[in-house]
């Protein structure tokens, strides 16, 4: 486990999956990141790459060759190397290998960096094409935050606050196969979005075209919470499990296969195409209060 620290924060990250495991505020004396209790969900903040969500039958094709990938891809289950660490910022690296080429036929380099900035942590993903042809992929974040944040409150004492009322498209997931249904519905979301477990009976809430750059987690019972700052991500999802004391904020570039997919990876809905020698950068920030 690697620790980053400044005057306001203590953050822990493991090399397995380059995954955040702790975000502790010295000011509030609260740990804002989900602790990974296996009773509910063993992960904390996995990185989703080179897919987000599920593939139809966990299968896809590139040039008529069949490949298989598990839900959310393989990055979260691979060991990353540390390429730099100054105590305030750390950068991890995952490179393609013979093992990854067996299940994902593209050469890539994935950098993940964490930077402490006062009471905030900035997370940046950088994907570089190391191949001699265009590569295709999706990438996303899946951090889970303690909810309730304090011991004297409950999940339903919390709410999500957008910068403005939102009218996104919402996709549903088929409970049987985990794929997205064909026709999204337009939603009218108030600025304040109260949390309850019934919202998640059909799995994640998946929205496309959320315009708010700052989305907050707050409570009616105390002044503590967090601001999640992100921009230019195609999808934003929220997820929890029944009675689980956490809520996930998930910016995505890509999503689960549509039920109508032909399984051609290059034609996958919302797939990213990255040309030779090009890089893609995506980032988000977590600000505690």
pLDDT at residue 146 greater than cutoff 90:
yes
What percent of the chain stands above pLDDT 70?
100
pLDDT at 14 over 90: yes
pTM of the model: 0.96
In this prediction, residue 245 has a pLDDT band, given cuts at 50, 70 and 90, of: very high
Q: Would you say residue 84 has pLDDT above 90?
A: yes
Mean predicted confidence (pLDDT) in 91-107: 98
Q: What mean pLDDT is predicted for residues 31-37? A: 97
pLDDT of residue 182: 83
Percentage of residues in the chain having pLDDT higher than 90: 99
CA 125: distance to chain centroid? 11
What span, in angstroms and rounded, lies between the C-alpha atoms of 112 and 131?
19
Q: For the stretch 203-220, what's the b/e string if a residue is b when 16 or more beta carbons lie within 10 angstroms of its beta carbon?
A: ebbbbbebebeebbbbbe
Q: Give the pLDDT mean for 55-67.
A: 98
Q: Are 289 and 211 in contact (CB under 8 A)?
A: no
Mean pLDDT of the residues in the chain? 97
- Confidence class for position 252, pLDDT limits 50, 70, 90: very high
The rounded Cα 27 to chain-centroid distance in angstroms is 26
Q: What digits encode the pLDDT tens for the residues 268-287?
A: 999 999 999 999 999 999 99
* Residue 257 reports pLDDT greater than 90: yes
Token match 């950088």: residue?
126
Cα separation, 67 vs 103, whole angstroms: 6
Closest-CA residue to 89 (of 7, 8, 1, 11): 11
Q: Are 226 and 215 in contact (CB under 8 A)?
A: no
């Amino acid at each position: 486990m690697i620790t980053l620290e400044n005057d306001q924060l203590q953050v822990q990250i493991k090399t397995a999956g380059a995954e955040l495991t702790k975000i502790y505020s010295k000011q509030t004396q609260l740990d804002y990141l989900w602790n990974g209790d296996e009773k509910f969900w063993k992960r904390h903040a996995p990185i989703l790459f080179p897919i987000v969500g599920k593939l139809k039958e966990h299968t896809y094709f590139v040039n008529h060759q069949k490949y298989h990938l598990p839900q959310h891809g393989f990055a979260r289950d691979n060991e990353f190397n540390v390429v730099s660490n100054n105590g305030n910022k750390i950068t991890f690296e995952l490179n393609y290998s013979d093992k990854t080429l067996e299940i994902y036929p593209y050469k890539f380099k994935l950098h993940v960096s964490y930077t402490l900035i006062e009471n905030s942590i900035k997370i940046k993903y950088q994907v570089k094409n190391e191949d001699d042809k265009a590569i295709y992929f999706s990438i996303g974040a899946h951090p889970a935050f303690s909810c309730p944040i304090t011991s004297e409150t409950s999940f339903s004492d919390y709410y999500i606050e957008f910068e403005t009322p939102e009218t996104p498209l919402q996709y549903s997931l088929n409970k049987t196969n985990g794929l997205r249904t064909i026709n999204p519905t337009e939603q009218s979301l108030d600025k304040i979005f109260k949390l309850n477990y019934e919202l998640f009976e059909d799995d994640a809430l998946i929205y496309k075209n959320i315009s708010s750059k700052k989305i907050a987690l707050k409570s009616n019972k105390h002044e503590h919470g967090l601001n999640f700052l992100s921009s230019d991500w195609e999808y934003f999802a929220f997820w929890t499990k029944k009675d689980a004391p956490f809520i996930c904020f998930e910016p995505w570039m890509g999503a689960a296969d549509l039920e109508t997919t032909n399984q051609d990876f290059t034609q996958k809905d919302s797939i990213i195409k990255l040309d030779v020698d090009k890089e893609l950068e995506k980032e988000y920030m977590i600000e505690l209060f």
